[in-house]
Each structure stands twice: as structure tokens, then as C-alpha cells.
């Protein structure tokens, strides 16, 4: 919904969050933390987090939050104690920039300027070379065949050691499958296979490709090297407009289906070719164009066959999926959505470093809020399906789907929240009990509430009742909450929720928060005597 149609209270007196986007120093050797309360002794493993951590080299400054050099964090939890360590990813981008003490590799929102030491002709011609994609993999930790990688949205990932955070080899997706890039949000099935989406373009057009990486082979001798062997494209979906394909950050997966959401955030390929010559950065070639509808492409995950039916909805944008499951011939899809896709370009460091008060208020109040929505897609639509009547016949769903033309279905969503959520500014960074409930009917998800430009509360949503549980304190900025199930869990929310809390009002007082997932009350915290920047995504690597 747009800001006008939901009753948000306008924020005033928002504090500066500049410390959350300031360069930090790495802590390569684990340090002890101060425990307050109790960390359950059954938690055994590492909470791994990723995100931007260095925003300048020499005199050069990055423009956009996404551009900062990837910094990996590890909170190792064992027998009620916690140690902390962090390392910058030694990507080619990081190494080259460090060697020359300036920005020499272009990022999402920052264009590397030609080398001032080159002569004028070399500088001029360097503008006509398309810059190489960055391997600054600062978005997420992902897993393929049992190995950990850090990932961004280019064709490059980096394998990493989840214990030491050591950077290993650079991995190029295009050496394994015909894609130019892949997301940092893969899905995992219960057999150990990993699914992702990438794109490719050539003379026959622009395609969104679904990739499957098989599970690790049993009893195979494990070598200390990348292994994406067996990766294959199981379905290629042609862009509805080849010169203006859609940006995507994630995709939907249930037990039997994958859905690609083609949204009206468009990449102008002509501009993309010219952007280097014009001296423009990548985020300038993305435009929000609500004259386009949102298209849901339905694919059978086992056969790779795409449905002939075109499923559409009003223009919206989504970055993160919550969950999806099948119910009596319908596919129920829950996701965080907004009605204004300009928001990605807004996260410039200049905006994020605005002063406390009027400047920050103005920026925050101009932004679209993201809210959880539910779409219900009818799986069997054919010539016999009647026109112009709601096909969603299940009693407990308010979303609708109508066949408007032969082979076309138009869907409207159900708001997956009550008005109470609006006072927390909507939500983002959703997480569930993934191992047990991804792709299956579920009841709870966890997220950050956005009463500020970055998350300033933790929320637990009951999707059956739309009731919220909230953890929120002034001056505390929590990271994406990650659920960890207790060893003898019998219910969906038996376990804990982990989040890193950044405290811009106080130096070096970051802490790892452990909440009881059921009651959403604090069990304990581990205080870290270092400054940690605000990150993106993370995972829990259980030690069994």
C-alpha cells in the first residue's frame, strides 16, 4: 500500500545512524564477550553475518551502502559462552583497492574513475570498456554441497572457511552454467540440493534462469576446493520485455513449485551499455515503472516445466520472501512487499548519514514502507475455468484470483498484518523456522520493524491471528533475526531467535541478543567491546 492509504504516523526527531555505516576494524582472532543473563547451553555453533564494513579507500568514498567492502562476522556460541571475530573478505576488489589506496573496482552505486596516472587517451578509451563485475560478496552466507560461500548479486561468489573466516577461491557461476549473475538468496530442499536464480542475455533475448545444484555425493572424498559440478539450468523464463528485464533479489519455492516474480523494477539494458561512457553507476540504470504489472511465473520444480498460465497482480516490488506452501490445489505465497520500488536507490551513504532531526525525518517519511502480503495462486486453471469469478474458494484466505482472459489470471493480495504493525513502520528481513517449515504450512515468522531507516525493533508475527510480539528499545538497531530450533523441539517456535544489536548512541557496546522464540523475551546477551556496522544477512552454522 502507498503511504497515503495506510495510516502511518510521521516520524519526528529520528536520531542519526551514521555510526551504523562507518568503517570498522576487523577482529581476526576470536575475543571473549561479556554475558548478561543466560545463553542456553544447548546452542552449539556459529552465528555468521555479512554486510558492508569499509566505505572508503584513501581519498575515495563509496556512494551507496551496498558498495561497502564485505565484512564477515562470527559469533561462536558454545556451552553458554560466546566469542566474536570478524574479517574483511579478501576479494579481488578489496585487494586491488587496498594496494592502490583508491577505488579501482566499480560497485553497485560507485563508478571507479579512470587511473589518473594514465595518459588522456588511455583514460578516454577506458570509458568504453564494460567494467568487470565485482566479487565484493557482501550480501549473504550461502551453502552449496556442504561448503560455505559469501555471495552478492554478480556472477562471482567466494568460498570461505566458516570457522576462521578465511577467504578462499573466487567462484564464477558462468564457468558452470550459462548465467551472468545469481542471487544471494538460494533455497534448499530436504535432499540437500540448492536452488537459485540467475539471468542470461544474448541474441535471442533476456532470460531468468532457475539453477539447481545437486546435493553433495555420499561417501565422495571431500576436497578442499569449490564444487558446483552438476549444476544445471532447469528452466529458462523469457523476460516479458527483453530490453527492460526486471531486477530480482529472491524467488519463491514450495515443495513442488518455484515462482519467479517479474516486478516493475526495470533494468534499462541500453542505458547499462552506455552507463560507463556516461560515467553513471549501476543503480542509475534501475527504474521503478508502475505502468508494468507484476507477473508471477509458475514452474514445476521437479520437471522444470513452466505453466502456460500468466498470473498477474498490481505493480509492487518485493525483495524478500517469507514462505510459500501448497494447500488443496492452491499455492500460498507470503512476501514483504512495497508499492514504490525507488527505495533501493535511496540507500545512499549521504542519505543514511543525515543529521538527527529534520533532515533524517524528511528522508524516512518520504520512503515506502514494506508490509507482509499473501498471494494465493490457483494451480489448475484451464479452458473450463470460469471467467471473472474468484477462484480462491478456501475459507481461510482473503486473497483473490480471477481468470480475466483465456490463460490469464489476475490476483489481489491479502494484508498479512493488522494496523498494529503500522506503528512499527512495516517490516523487512523476514525469517522462519526454515529447516522444518520452508515450503510447508507454517504459523510464525520473525522480522525487523522499520520505525527508522534501518530496523529498530524485532517482531514475531503469527500469520493465523496476525498478532505481533515485539522487542524494541530506544537507540537499539537489531539485525535480521535468525531462528535456531532447540534440540528436542516439538513445536514450530521451540527455540531461540538471534540478532546483533547495534548501539549508535554508545561506542563499542554492540551485543548479540538471544530471545526465547516462543515468548519473545530476552534470555541473555553477549556484549562485544568493538564497533560493528549494520549488516545485511546471516545464518546459523550448527555444530551438531
Report pLDDT digits (tens) over 46-95.
999 999 999 999 999 999 999 999 999 999 999 999 999 999 999 999 99
* Distance, CA of 245 to CA of 453 (rounded, Å): 28
pLDDT in tens, the chain (544 residues): 344 456 678 999 999 999 999 999 999 999 999 999 999 999 999 999 999 999 999 999 999 999 999 999 999 999 999 999 999 999 999 999 999 999 999 998 898 877 666 665 555 555 555 567 899 999 999 999 999 999 999 999 999 999 999 999 999 999 999 999 999 999 999 999 999 999 998 888 999 999 999 999 877 667 888 999 999 999 999 999 988 999 999 999 999 999 999 999 998 877 777 766 666 677 778 899 999 999 999 999 999 999 999 999 999 999 999 999 999 999 999 999 999 988 887 899 999 999 999 999 999 999 999 999 999 999 999 999 999 999 999 999 999 999 999 999 999 999 999 999 999 999 999 999 999 999 999 999 999 999 999 999 999 999 999 999 999 999 999 999 999 999 999 999 999 999 999 999 999 999 999 999 999 999 999 999 999 999 999 999 998 5
Distance of CA 475 to the CA centre of its chain: 24
Among 233, 413, 230, 246, which Cα is nearest to 336's? 413
The annotation status of 64 as a binding-site residue, yes or no, is no
Other CB atoms within a 10 A radius of the CB of residue 230 amount to 14
The annotation status of 185 as a binding-site residue, yes or no, is yes
The annotation status of 320 as a binding-site residue, yes or no, is yes
Can you name the residues that pair with 449 across neighbouring β-strands?
427, 457
Alpha helix ranges (H) inside 118-247: 120-126
Strand order in the sheet with 457-462: 427-431, 444-449, 457-462, 467-471
Contact between residue 12 and residue 526 where contact means Cβ atoms under 8 Å apart? no
Amino acid at each position: 500500500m502507498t503511504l497515503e492509504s495506510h495510516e502511518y504516523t510521521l516520524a519526528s526527531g529520528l536520531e542519526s545512524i551514521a555510526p551504523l555505516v562507518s568503517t570498522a576494524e576487523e577482529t581476526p582472532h576470536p575475543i571473549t564477550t561479556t554475558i548478561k543473563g543466560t545463553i542456553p547451553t544447548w546452542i552449539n555453533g556459529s552465528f555468521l553475518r555479512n554486510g558492508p564494513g569499509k566505505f572508503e579507500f584513501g581519498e575515495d568514498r563509496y556512494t551507496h551502502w551496498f558498495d561497502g567492502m564485505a565484512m564477515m562476522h562470527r559469533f561462536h556460541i558454545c556451552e553458554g559462552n560466546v566469542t566474536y571475530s570478524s574479517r574483511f573478505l579478501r576479494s579481488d576488489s578489496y585487494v586491488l583497492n587496498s594496494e592502490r589506496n583508491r577505488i579501482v573496482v566499480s560497485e553497485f552505486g560507485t563508478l571507479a574513475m579512470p587511473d589518473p596516472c594514465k595518459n588522456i587517451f588511455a583514460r578516454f578509451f577506458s570509458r568504453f570498456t564494460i567494467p568487470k563485475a565485482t566479487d565484493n560478496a557482501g550480501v549473504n552466507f550461502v551453502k552449496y554441497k556442504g561448503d560455505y560461500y559469501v555471495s552478492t548479486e554478480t556472477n562471482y561468489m567466494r568460498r570461505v572457511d566458516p570457522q576462521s573466516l578465511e577467504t578462499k577461491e573466487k567462484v564464477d557461476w558462468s564457468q558452470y552454467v550459462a548465467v551472468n549473475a545469481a542471487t544471494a538468496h538460494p533455497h534448499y530442499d530436504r535432499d540437500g540440493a540448492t536452488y537459485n536464480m540467475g539471468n542470461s542475455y544474448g541474441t535471442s533475448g533476456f532470460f531468468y534462469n532457475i539453477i539447481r545444484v545437486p546435493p553433495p555425493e555420499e561417501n565422495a572424498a571431500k576436497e578442499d576446493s569449490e564444487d558446483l559440478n552438476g549444476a544445471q539450468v532447469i528452466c529458462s523464463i523469457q523476460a516479458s520485455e527483453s530490453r527492460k528485464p526486471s531486477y530480482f533479489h529472491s524467488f519463491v519455492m514450495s515443495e513442488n513449485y518455484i515462482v519467479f516474480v517479474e516486478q516493475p523494477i526495470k533494468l534499462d539494458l541500453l542505458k547499462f551499455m552506455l552507463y560507463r561512457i556516461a560515467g553513471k553507476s549501476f543503480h542509475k540504470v534501475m527504474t521503478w515503472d508502475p505502468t508494468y504489472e507484476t507477473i508471477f511465473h509458475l514452474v514445476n520444480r521437479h520437471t522444470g516445466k513452466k505453466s502456460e498460465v500468466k498470473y498477474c497482480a498490481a505493480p509492487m516490488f518485493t525483495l524478500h520472501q517469507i514462505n510459500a506452501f501448497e494447500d488443496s490445489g492452491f499455492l500460498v505465497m507470503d512476501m514483504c512487499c512495497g508499492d514504490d520500488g525507488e527505495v533501493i536507490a535511496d540507500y545512499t551513504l549521504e542519505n543514511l548519514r543525515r543529521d538527527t532531526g529534520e533532515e533524517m525525518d524528511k528522508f524516512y517519511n518520504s520512503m515506502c514502507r514494506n508490509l507482509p502480503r499473501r498471494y494465493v495462486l490457483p494451480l489448475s486453471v484451464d479452458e473450463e475455468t470460469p471467467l471473472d469469478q474468484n477462484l480462491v474458494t478456501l475459507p481461510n484466505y482473503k486473497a483473490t484470483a480471477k481468470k480475466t482472459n483465456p490463460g490469464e489470471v489476475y490476483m489481489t493480495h491479502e494484508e498479512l498484518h493488522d494496523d498494529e504493525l503500522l506503528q512499527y513502520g512495516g517490516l523487512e528481513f523476514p525469517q522462519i523456522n526454515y529447516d522444518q517449515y520452508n515450503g510447508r504450512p507454517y504459523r510464525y515468522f520473525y522480522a525487523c520493524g522499520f520505525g527508522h531507516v534501518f530496523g529498530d525493533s524485532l517482531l514475531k508475527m503469527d500469520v493465523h491471528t496476525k498478532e505481533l510480539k515485539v522487542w524494541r528499545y530506544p537507540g537499539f538497531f537489531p539485525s535480521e533475526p535468525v531462528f535456531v530450533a532447540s534440540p528436542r523441539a516439538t513445536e514450530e517456535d521451540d527455540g531461540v531467535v538471534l540478532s546483533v544489536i547495534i548501539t549508535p548512541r554508545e561506542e563499542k557496546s554492540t551485543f548479540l541478543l538471544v530471545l526465547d522464540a516462543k515468548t519473545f523475551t530476552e534470555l541473555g546477551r553477549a556484549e562485544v567491546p568493538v564497533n560493528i556496522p549494520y549488516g545485511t544477512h546471516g545464518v546459523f552454522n550448527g555444530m551438531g
